[in-house]
Structure 1
């Protein structure tokens, strides 16, 4: 415990975007600093402390006056505050916000008591009423990478290697705009016989009827062999490598990593203006941004990519360079570790942006 300099709590059993962030960042951060997770729902291979070890947090870590507690949820902020102010644990508290809405009074109360606040996008930063640092999410550019041969990548998945594929990945539900993607493909694919479309993701029980209705629309349009619902896959990076174009049609999103994953895989992205999408994509270079819930605008933005595969490939190459330069997961991990070190050593005044 003396070597644990940073505690990353995860006080939620069910997998979420926050949990996924922790799962991706901690393995990189443990190579840079003594970090451990606390809580359920995390893989066994992550460094962790058990609940019975929590009293050890009342002591200082080896070589530093403070230990850092990095919260990403209200309950985790509260846990850090209780440890510090009730049990006098020598903690510095960090909170990361991905929210793009006005915070409740309770959340603002908690945030105001953090030593450092991080926003995952400029949009998120604008909703915070305290000084904050924008550190955008990154992705593993080794896992998400362009294929050596896109046709072979399609063949390995049982797809037709002679076709080009546009994709939409994620939970199948109205919020994610899956219906907008399907309707755009129904309208466009008959004019572009070289292209097909992939919907990858799971429809939970509450959205099963929504998915069935979409499949019915596709069948009625006579496109069941070209608009494919392929389900949920853990090796989603392989499916990105089969794509020539990615479409992110969400009606609402917190941050949204799929455009980064697609661009890193060499596919340009047409995305709605939600979440951080407008901060991830360079319009005219790596993709396009369209208004949310506007099917006509989406179709108009997608059509040039289907009409000109060379243009599509060129933007895909630019997207890969853009992600490598600006959104590597290792860079995100490193910036956070720099903040941890300054806080743990007592070298940083509250709220100052030192990165």
Structure 2
């Protein structure tokens, strides 16, 4: 929630902002919030965030333009999500996928196309909400050129990310400098958890204004199906104990820890245990290599009979998987927020997560799930058994998790806070001090 009482208008007023304040730009260059496969790839959480924030802001009365990078000639230049919300794709570099670490050199072209778009359509965005560090650089240029007010959500901090990988990319110095500059110059930074704000202060800069507004999730979509119906659809017996992982194949996601923990479970030999690893991958890419490594570990441990890897779980099918599970495990080495945790909780499924980052904010220990030290196989095994061996407690945790998401992490709650923030910043633009005589 927003930390400081800054005199924001009421939610009712926000539903009818003044016409000149209705237009807002959301910038997310690295992914594509209009993709048919939203939720896939390295920045799945960011894509979902921008997509749903845009559509929810439109329902509050804002005119929302989402800007991203076009990666193929077949993509539509404009995708209309609703009467007040659209995604606009600009060319920036070759029309092909470009790895994140190689994108920076094409950003000036993106800025040029965005300025051209504004001129051709007689638009000037008073507020731009940028996402991740490439987009934040674009926002800083718009601030310099036309005085746009900038709100930024990091989604991931280089200062932490580079601690978790062996090969630091050449762009790292540039990224860290931009992340520091945006914190010190943007009108407002949105941290998605208290832990992320703390990391910004400790690792990036003590300057700048930060508000805490978390990710959200669709509480009508997640929680729309019961465990019984979900298991019937998936052909899973009601007595089977189901452990679920959702996320990408990446060593930093801790899937190996989960696999080895399930192997140490007391239920390992019961013929009543099922592990589902829901994640997409591309053969030959880093995620494909990680999938092959995980499959090798599963086979070496003799877990193939009760472990399934169904591939990428679409947004349409995800609620069924969450509902069918007894527990969802998020064993990440680090998470700025942990979107999977609140999706599972919204589905009434308790969460076992690493005691790191934003997961310490989303999961309440002993109330909505359990937190354990990252990469601690024995601790994860013990936590999994605690929940699987106590069905009544599992149900209590699930109900408490659903209630927490309804009150703290629904899109309605989250976007109302963002809308208040934007309105407050625009009020500051309008209310200029009188000239001295």
Q: How high is the TM-score relative to the length of structure 2?
A: 0.71
Residue 135 in 1 paired to residue 135 in 2? no
Structure 1 residue 147: deviation in Å? 2.9
1:230 equivalent in alignment to 2:230: no
RMSD: 2.7
Residue of structure 2 in register with 1:198 after alignment: 276
Residue of structure 2 in register with 1:166 after alignment: 243
- Structure 2 partner of 1:181: 258
Aligned twin of 2:30: 12
Match in the other structure for 2:11: none
Residues 224, 43 of structure 1: alpha-carbon distance in 2 compared, 3 angstrom cutoff? farther
CA distance in 2, matches of 1:80, 1:206: 30
C-alpha spacing 1:49/1:248, structure 2 compared with 1 (3 Å): closer
What is aligned with 1:122? Answer: 194
**Greater shift after overlay, 38-47 or 308-317?**
38-47
Task: State the partner residue of 1:63.
Answer: none
- Structure 2 portions without partners, runs of 5+: 1-18, 33-40, 71-77, 90-112, 160-174, 432-437
Aligned to 2:351: 269
What's the offset of the Cα at 1:253? 2.3
Unaligned runs of 5+ in 1: 61-65, 350-355
Change (3 A) 1:78 1:230: closer
Provide closer, same or farther for how the CA distance between residues 44 and 164 of structure 1 changes in structure 2, counting only shifts above 3 A. Answer: farther
Deviation at 1:191, TM superposition (A): 4.9
Between 131-140 and 67-76, the greater mean CA deviation after superposition: 67-76
Paired position in structure 1 for 2:170: none
User: Residue 35 of structure 1 corresponds to which residue in structure 2?
Assistant: 64
Deviation at 1:267, TM superposition (A): 0.9
The answer on 1:151 being equivalent to 2:228 is: yes
Q: Give the distance between the partners of 1:251 and 1:265, measured in 2 at CA.
A: 24
Say if 1:77 and 1:304 are closer, same or farther in 2 by CA, change over 3 A: closer
Aligned runs of 1:325-344 on 2, under 5 Å?
Answer: 325-344=407-426
Q: 1:82 to 1:203 in 2, by over 3 A?
A: closer
Q: Who is 2:104 aligned against?
A: none
CA distance in structure 2 between the aligned counterparts of 1:190 and 1:245, rounded to whole angstroms = 15
Q: What residue in structure 2 maps to residue 215 of structure 1? A: 295
Question: So what's the TM-score if we normalise by structure 1?
Answer: 0.86
- The question of 1:26 aligning with 2:54 is answered yes
In the alignment, does 2:130 pair up with 1:71?
A: yes
Distance in 1 of aligned mates of 2:296 and 2:156: 35
Give distance in 2, aligned partners of 1:36 and 1:26: 8
Moved more, 294-303 or 151-160: 151-160
